[in-house]
Chains A and B, each alone.
Chain A
Amino acid sequence: MKTVADLLEQIGLGRERVAMVNLSSAMGAQFAEMVREMTERVRALGPNPLDQTEAADDHC
């Protein structure tokens, strides 16, 4: 996960856009809370900057 975060940072997309948490299937409430937190974090970061580029149609 650190490798992916480092790569996203080097690319310029920011390491905050990816996260991993370990939860069991019995931790539904915690899962929902993590998803809420991640959603808020990504919203705060704004849309994927690659979508704003000219070549947004290209495959990455």
Chain B
Amino acid sequence: MIIAEQKKLEEIQALVGNARKVLIAGCGTCVTVCFAGGEKEVGILASALRMKSRLEGKPLAVDEVTVQRQCEWEYIDPLGERLKDYDLVISLACGIGVQAMNERFPDTITVPGLNTTFLGLPEEQGVWEERCQACGDCILGITGGICPIARCSKQLLNGPCGGSQRGVCEVNPETPCAWQLIWERAEKLGRVEQLLAIQPPKDWSKSRDGGPRKIVREDLRLVENE
């Protein structure tokens, strides 16, 4: 899922600027699960902004809403009429939700209340780790289900670098060396041979290097592209 963190209150307040009536819009999917922008976090931020603005002598009217998914038109469309009542929307969705709101409602300013951080999973309660960089050309089938693109600091494709020491990465000793993990798993599964084949340089054009990406599925489209 998409992992995000809430911005500091001061930064959110700076984004609100001179607006006097704002709506905080949460998202009920990824950012709810990572405790950054769900209904509960919307409520806490709303209370914090109300109190801080009152203490500073410029009371801010803050309303709250949380939609199931801010990244799909069908879930944000019902907000349309309501937005006319506000000077600004603070989105507690990921960057996709913030952009969806701005694209769908161009007359309303929607600012981000979160920093969208990575694609990952909760390793344990309260700890999230990156697992995927959406590189567009998955090699997990070769590397035993452990991604060296997301988990190796140098994104190496053919084994560890010299900075791999005692199973951890030289960039951060708290980060396990992805290639150590890959090798140990291959040994355990008896699939070391698979790792001995040299991987050619990665085609990064399928990742961000090829510019913004787009998938078109003609079999799913409701209007045929002639």
A binding-site residues for B, Cβ under 8 Å: 7, 10-13, 49-50, 53-55, 58, 60
User: Is the beta-carbon distance between A53 and B54 smaller than 8 angstroms?
Assistant: yes
**Cβ of B83 to closest chain A Cβ, rounded Å:** 23
Q: Are A11 and B59 in contact (CB under 8 A)?
A: no
B50–A10 touching, CB < 8 Å: no
Instruction: Kindly state whether residue B8 has any CB partner on chain A within 8 Å.
Output: yes
Give me 11 other A-B pairs in contact (C-beta within 8 A), A54-B59, A55-B59 excluded: A7-B48, A10-B8, A10-B48, A11-B9, A12-B52, A49-B55, A50-B55, A53-B55, A53-B59, A54-B57, A58-B50
* Main DSSP-derived SS at the B contact region: helix
Report if B44 contacts A (CB, 8 A): yes
* Size category of the binding interface on chain B: 10 to 19
Bound: A23/B2 CA distance, A: 39
Closest Cβ neighbor of B13 among chain A residues: A10
| Dominant SS among interface residues on chain A | loop
Contact pick for A7, options B44, B54, B55, B57, CB 8 Å: B44
Give A49's nearest chain B residue, CB to CB: B55
**Interchain CA distance A32-B190 in the complex, whole Å:** 64
Interface residue? B10 (CB, 8 A):
yes
Is B79's CB within 8 Å of the partner chain A? no
Query: Cβ of B47 < 8 Å from any Cβ of A?
Result: yes
Residues of chain B with a CB closer than 8 A to A10's CB: 8-10, 48, 52
The complex places the Cα of A60 from the Cα of B9 at a distance, in Å, of 16
A11 & B55 in contact (Cβ 8 Å cutoff): yes
Contact partner, A60, options B8, B47, B56, B57, Cβ 8 Å:
B47
Chain B, residues 35-57, CB within 8 Å of chain A (1/0): the string is 00000000010011011101111
In the complex, 29 of the A-B residue pairs with CB atoms within 8 angstroms, ordered by the A residue number, are: A7-B48, A10-B8, A10-B9, A10-B10, A10-B48, A10-B52, A11-B48, A11-B51, A11-B55, A12-B51, A13-B51, A13-B55, A49-B55, A50-B51, A50-B54, A53-B54, A53-B57, A53-B59, A54-B54, A54-B57, A54-B59, A55-B54, A58-B50, A58-B54, A58-B59, A60-B47, A60-B50, A60-B51, A60-B54
